[in-house]
Amino acid sequence: MDKKSSIQFSSSSSANRQSATENRKWAGVVGILVLILGCVGMALAQQPPKVPGIGVLLAGSPSSMATRVDAFRQGLRELGYIEGKNIAIEYRYAEGKEDRLPALVGELLRLKVDIIVVQGGNGTSAAKNANKTIPIVMAAVSDPVGSGLVASLARPCGNITGLTPINPDLSGKRLELLKEAIPGATRVAVLIDRNNPAAILMLKETDAAAQALGLQLQTLEVSGSNELDNAFGAAKKGRSEAINVLSSSFFVDQRKEIAELATRDPLASHLRR
């Protein structure tokens, strides 16, 4: 593969690896969920029969989140929970518009679900602010402690538990890998989800790595898909030679558009090994 090709696909391959990790994580969430369901089942046994209800709140669209939902359903089936038979699931999708999250949480609460499963820090924060009693299982939250969602990883306290990749620490390593792929690069744009509470910590780790690698960073903040094209334009105008996309559920949802933008107009086709 020539240099131009490696630059074109640097952001898309990273997004694909993150997507696969996210799918495994959703299967792993099921283990935590089943423990809570067991407690819910014991409580319901003392009441008139009722099928336990799960509310699932997702930041993306039904199509972009399909593989994660499939992994979630498969994990439940493997443990004997069949949707529509002995478990009821209500799905709500923010469609990339995170300002909709509080209203979607409200919908799930009005349906009186027994557990809420949430993707991302902003969704978890919305669920936490709206409810202090119904168990919340979080997935794909980069820094739940630093974001103030839980007291600690060992003892989260409150009504929130779940999984975290704790990936701010890996932000610097990703920049190192980018530098290895494009050794001639001297200036890198960093794409940040403005709504991600963990973005500040990830940027701090990335900045430290940039100093060690002798790279200059250009910070680009976005909060919606309509801003991605302008961000790539700003990167080119700022003479950045590559784009490092920081971890975010929003960017995972927009991975196809990000990859298309990266391939349409490569930033540093002039660089050679």
Angle of helix 171-181 versus helix 10-44 axis, rounded to 10: 150
The residue-averaged pLDDT of 244-254 equals 85
* Residue 12: band (very low, low, confident or very high) from pLDDT cuts 50, 70, 90: very low
The CA distance from 55 to 155, in Å, is 24
Count the alpha carbons within 13 Å of 184 in the hemisphere toward its beta carbon: 12
Report how far Cα 235 is from the mean position of its chain's Cα atoms.
23
Give 124-174 pLDDT, tens digit per residue.
999 999 999 999 999 878 778 878 899 888 888 899 998 887 666 678 888
- Asked if residue 175 has pLDDT above 60, the reply is yes
On the question of pLDDT at 249 being above 80, the answer is no
In this predicted structure, the answer to whether residue 14 has a pLDDT above a threshold of 60 is no
CATH code of the domain occupying 21-162: 3.40.50.2300
pLDDT of amino acid 21: 52
The per-residue pLDDT for 140 is 74
Average pLDDT estimate for 4-10:
33
Give the closest residue to 44 by CA, choosing from 130, 118, 136, 115: 115
Rounded to 5 degrees, φ, ψ at 160 are -115, 135
What separation in angstroms does the CA of 28 have from each of 67, 82, 127, 170?
14, 17, 20, 21
Label residue 16 exposed, middle or buried (CB < 10 Å: 0-12, 13-18, 19+).
middle
* Residue 15: pLDDT band with limits 50, 70, 90: very low
- The share of the chain scoring above pLDDT 90, in percent, equals 46
State the span(s) of the chain assigned CATH 3.40.50.2300: 3-18+167-264, 21-162
Helix (H, G, I), strand (E, B) or coil at 108: helix
3-state helix, strand, coil in the chain (%, to 5): 50, 15, 35
Kindly report the pTM of this predicted structure: 0.64
Question: Measured between alpha carbons, how far is residue 16 from residues 12, 57, 88, 89, 265 in Å?
Answer: 6, 22, 31, 27, 20
The C-alpha atoms of residue 146 and residue 220 are separated, in whole angstroms, by 22
Give the integer Cα–Cα distance in Å for 190 and 131: 35
Confidence of residue 6 (pLDDT cuts 50, 70, 90): very low
Block residue for tokens 């939250």 = 141
DSSP-based three-state secondary structure for 127: helix
Question: Concatenated DSSP letters for 209-241?
Answer: HHHHHT-EEEEEEESSGGGHHHHHHHHHHTT-S
Q: Which tokens go with 186?
A: 């001297």
Per-residue pLDDT at 92? 97
CATH class belonging to 3-18+167-264: alpha beta
> Angle at CA 198, nearest 5°, toward 121 and 122?
20
Model pLDDT for residues 60-89, shown as the tens digit of each residue:
899 988 988 999 999 999 989 999 999 999
More confident residue, 127 or 96: 127
pLDDT tens sequence across 193-229: 988 877 888 899 899 999 999 999 999 999 888 899 9
